[in-house]
């Protein structure tokens, strides 16, 4: 019987999630795991420039991995079509993956997976398996979406997220540094989490978001950064719609990143494993070390971006 009375829980939001007509799962790596199991993937081609968890999921599922070099963010794979039974995994780096390029590849090779973890607002291409994650864009502990036309009779239990909210609530009231360890613990937990449907709590939070405002703010902030730093950026940033982070490519990203963190502008090293696995002379190493991802999300204004621009310029002049 339904409960009546007693204390009141978090509000039930009645808005709409941005992604619909798709599977809602507990994280992005489990979207890949779902595809591996339902499409019976045995061979996959991965880019060297990738988060290690992608490789780990494939290995744990017994998938044979082939590798390719990333030629550019817009057109990462420029080799010949893979063999028919090989799935090609394309990462949409910083939202720069060109739609026409993917459509041309898909016309000649149907076994393609697009990882849109860094481009939440990019609509999927019909027929192409496409993965989205929520944590990179919104204050949720987990959650991901998968567009696929695979027909699978799999019933998934819903995840529970209530005990993984502390780092989000703590940062809201106390700042990031105090709860950074809790954040890291949640990341480590995600690495081990099995395949579940998205939790009711995460669904509820995602229904509370004004997506158009978020998209507009991220776009305007990225454009502001590009207006101030674009001339010095070694990367031409073409797409800034709903940007994840602004990729500032410079000669010594490691130094700039360290100095920015000292000034409390927290910028991550994406693909830390690439710095360990790839040779120094490779493009992948260069991208991971020297692309400094600057924050441009919905928490900030264009005036905030002007502050970031000023700090970057000051540090690079020293």
The conformation of residue 137, written as its DSSP 8-state character, comes to T
Q: What is the pLDDT at residue 176?
A: 85
The conformation of residue 61, written as its DSSP 8-state character, comes to T
Q: What is the pLDDT at residue 115?
A: 99
Domain boundaries, the chain: 23-206, 211-317
- Looking at domain 211-317, its CATH architecture is Alpha-Beta Complex (3.90)
SS3 138: coil
Q: How far is Cα 261 from Cα 186, in angstroms, rounded to an integer? A: 22
Q: Among 15, 242, 283, which Cα is nearest to 132's?
A: 242
Torsion 34-112-241-249 (CA) sign: positive
SS3 227: helix
How far, in whole angstroms, is CA 163 from its chain's centroid?
23
Q: What is the pLDDT at residue 1?
A: 83
Q: Token pair of 30, please?
A: 């489990």
* Residue matched to tokens 């992604």: 19
Q: How far is Cα 310 from Cα 204, in angstroms, rounded to an integer? A: 38
Q: Among 38, 77, 83, 31, which Cα is nearest to 57's?
A: 31
Separation in Å, CA 251 to CA 58, 223, 280, 314: 34, 22, 14, 15
Q: Token pair of 278, please?
A: 């790839």
Give pTM, 2 decimals: 0.96
Q: How far is Cα 243 from Cα 237, in angstroms, rounded to an integer? A: 10
Q: Token pair of 143, please?
A: 């959650």
Bridge partners (DSSP) listed for residue 158:
197
Backbone angles phi, psi at 258, to 5 degrees: -60, -45
**Angle formed by the axes of helices 253-262 and 302-317, nearest 10°:** 120
Q: Are strands 64-68 and 86-91 parallel, antiparallel or unpaired?
A: unpaired
Element (H, E) at 291: strand 291-294
Asked whether the beta carbons of 33 and 196 are under 8 A apart, the reply is no
Please give the order of strands across the beta sheet that includes 129-133. 23-25, 144-147, 129-133, 112-115, 86-91, 43-47, 64-68
Q: How far is Cα 132 from Cα 124, in angstroms, rounded to an integer? A: 10
Q: How far is Cα 84 from Cα 88, in angstroms, rounded to an integer? A: 10
Assign domain 23-206 to a CATH class.
Answer: alpha beta
Count the neighbouring beta carbons within 10 Å of the beta carbon of residue 278. Answer: 20
pLDDT in tens, the chain (318 residues): 888 999 888 999 999 999 999 999 999 999 999 999 999 999 999 999 999 999 999 999 999 999 999 989 999 999 999 999 999 999 999 999 999 999 999 999 999 999 999 999 999 999 999 999 999 999 999 999 999 999 888 889 999 999 999 999 999 999 888 998 998 888 888 888 899 999 999 999 999 999 999 999 999 999 999 999 999 999 999 999 999 999 999 999 999 999 999 999 999 999 999 999 999 999 999 999 999 999 999 999 999 999 999 999 999 987
Separation in Å, CA 50 to CA 75, 88, 235: 15, 13, 19
């Amino acid at each position: 019987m339904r409960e009546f009375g007693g204390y009141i829980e978090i509000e039930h939001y009645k808005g709409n999630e941005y992604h619909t007509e798709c599977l809602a799962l507990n994280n992005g790596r489990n979207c890949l795991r779902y595809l591996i199991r339902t499409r019976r993937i045995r061979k996959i081609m991965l880019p060297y420039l990738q988060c290690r968890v992608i490789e780990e999921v494939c290995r744990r599922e017994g998938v044979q991995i082939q590798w390719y070099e990333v030629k550019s963010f817009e057109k990462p794979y420029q080799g010949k079509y893979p063999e028919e039974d090989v799935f090609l995994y394309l990462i949409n780096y910083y939202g720069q993956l060109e739609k026409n390029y993917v459509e041309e590849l898909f016309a000649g090779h149907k076994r393609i997976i697009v990882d849109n973890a860094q481009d939440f607002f990019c609509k999927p291409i019909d027929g192409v398996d496409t993965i989205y994650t929520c944590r990179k864009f919104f204050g949720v502990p987990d959650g991901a979406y998968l567009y696929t036309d695979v027909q699978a009779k799999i019933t998934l239990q819903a995840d529970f997220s209530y005990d993984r909210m502390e780092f989000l609530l703590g940062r809201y009231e106390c700042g990031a540094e105090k709860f950074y360890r809790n954040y890291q613990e949640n990341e480590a937990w995600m690495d081990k989490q099995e395949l579940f449907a998205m939790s009711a709590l995460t669904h509820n939070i995602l229904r509370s978001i004004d997506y158009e405002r978020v998209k507009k703010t991220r776009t305007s902030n990225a454009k502001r950064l590009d207006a101030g730093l674009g001339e010095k950026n070694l990367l031409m940033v073409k797409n800034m719609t709903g940007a994840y982070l602004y990729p500032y490519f410079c000669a010594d990203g490691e130094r700039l990143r360290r100095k920015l963190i000292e000034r409390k502008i927290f910028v991550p090293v994406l693909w830390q494993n690439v710095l360990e696995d790839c040779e120094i002379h490779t493009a992948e190493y260069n991208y991971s070390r020297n692309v400094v991802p600057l924050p441009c999300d919905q928490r900030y204004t264009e005036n905030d971006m002007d502050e970031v621009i000023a700090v970057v310029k000051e540090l690079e002049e020293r």
